[in-house]
Amino acid sequence: MNDQHGHRDDPAKHHQHVGHHHEVSHDADRRCLTAALLLITAFMAVEVMVGLAAGSLALISDAAHMLTDALSLVLALAAMRLARRPARGQWTFGLKRAEILSAQVNGITLLLLGGVLGYEAIRRLITPPEVDGRLMLATAAAGVVINVIAVYLIGRANRTSLNVEGAFQHILNDLWAFTGTAVAGLVAWLTGFARADALASLVVVALMFKAGYQLVRESWKILLEAAPTGLDPEQVGSELAAWRGVSEVHDLHIWTITSGYPALSAHVLVDDGHDCHTVRDELQDHLMRSYDISHVTLQVDHAAPPAPATRAATHCADPHGTVHRATR
């Protein structure tokens, strides 16, 4: 990439700067998640004892949700450590996808636990047991404070990472859940309406299903090599094919290696009279500037003399994907 004076940037310096920035960011993220984990684990133990004493399913469900929060933070921290390992041997991308697997496990855990708690909440809605509303209210109010602090801590981390976002969604759902439990405790205390506990549990379940579905959907998109959200491969292919000197683009693939790490590969055919290396550099610069895709692999060849219908077959034994041709 050239600067305003026409000098070319030193890629080594650029990567050194980016690598240092990522390392600092990872260290900060790890500290934030660790602090939140310690806070949540301590409160979870207290809440289980109080929930059993009060006979409150809402408190027990909140504690169960906090257990998944703690597990999600442990998974997130472990995935961070794995993702930082350098690429070697058969792991040519390193273990960066560990963060995506962590996010998927978090999402599936939310869905499964939501199903169990939903069943129990419906059962208690039909036959409500007695609950101690005052104890529910006091414990839930403390939970709100704890989760506000935890949300603040994790909110300071890099939430563009699906791994961190998964942990954040766990904690955020707990915050709303504790708020609902506090309201249910107040209602049960003032009115004696015991079903408020089960209703609050159903709110928790709904939040768990919503967050779990979103995490599973986003992680599956990455694992199945879908194009990043908001990036249209057809538009990118048309732009590349319309570039000066380009006659055709095929085998275009755009995917996400891990959160915030898009990649692109394509086979580009260049008209005679144009330099392949120059065209490739221009296309890579365009992809970086317009789409922030820095991991680009372009196979660039001169277009073959035969008719356009047979060009792809000349260069690729088994071409796949949409073929984009120049319209000029």
Give per-residue pLDDT as tens, 192-238: 887 887 888 888 888 889 888 988 998 999 998 899 888 899 999 99
pLDDT at site 289: 93
Whether 199 and 250 map to the same domain: the answer is no
Strand partners, 45: none
Burial profile 248-276: b = 16 or more Cβ within 10 angstroms, e = fewer? bbbbbebbbbbbebbbbebbbbbeeebeb
Q: With helix as H, strand as E and coil as C, how does 251-266 read?
A: EEEEEEEECCEEEEEE
Beta bridge partners of residue 270, listed in sequence order: 246, 302
189 and 267 in a common domain: no
Confidence of residue 243 (pLDDT cuts 50, 70, 90): very high
63 located within any domain: yes
**CA pair distance 269, 265, nearest whole angstrom:** 13
pTM, entire model:
0.70
Contact 295, 266 (CB under 8 A): no
Phi, psi of 95 (to 5 degrees): -115, 40
The tens digit of pLDDT for each residue in 61-114 reads 667 767 777 887 888 888 888 888 887 888 877 888 888 888 888 889 888 888
Single residue among 164, 193, 223 that ends a domain in this structure: 223
CATH of the domain at 203: 1.20.1510.10
Taken in order 38, 39, 45, 48, the sign of the CA dihedral is: negative
Of 27-31, 188-192, 204-208, 284-288, the least confident:
27-31
What six digits make up the tokens of 132? 């101690």
Domain range for 104: 11-223
Residues 33 and 174 in one domain: yes
Asked if residue 3 belongs to a domain, the reply is: no
Beta-sheet strands, E only, within the chain: 246-258, 261-270, 295-302, 324-325
Decide if 124 contacts 131 (C-beta within 8 A). no
Q: How many domains, in total, are found in the chain?
A: 2
pLDDT at 22: 45
The answer on 249 and 215 residing in a single domain is no
pLDDT for the residue 265: 93
Does residue 258 share a domain with residue 214?
no
Residue 160 and residue 202 share a domain: yes
165 within domain boundaries:
yes
Q: Confidence band (pLDDT; 50, 70, 90) for 284?
A: very high
| 60 shares its domain with 199 | yes
- The gap from C-alpha 182 to its chain's centroid, in whole angstroms, comes to 30
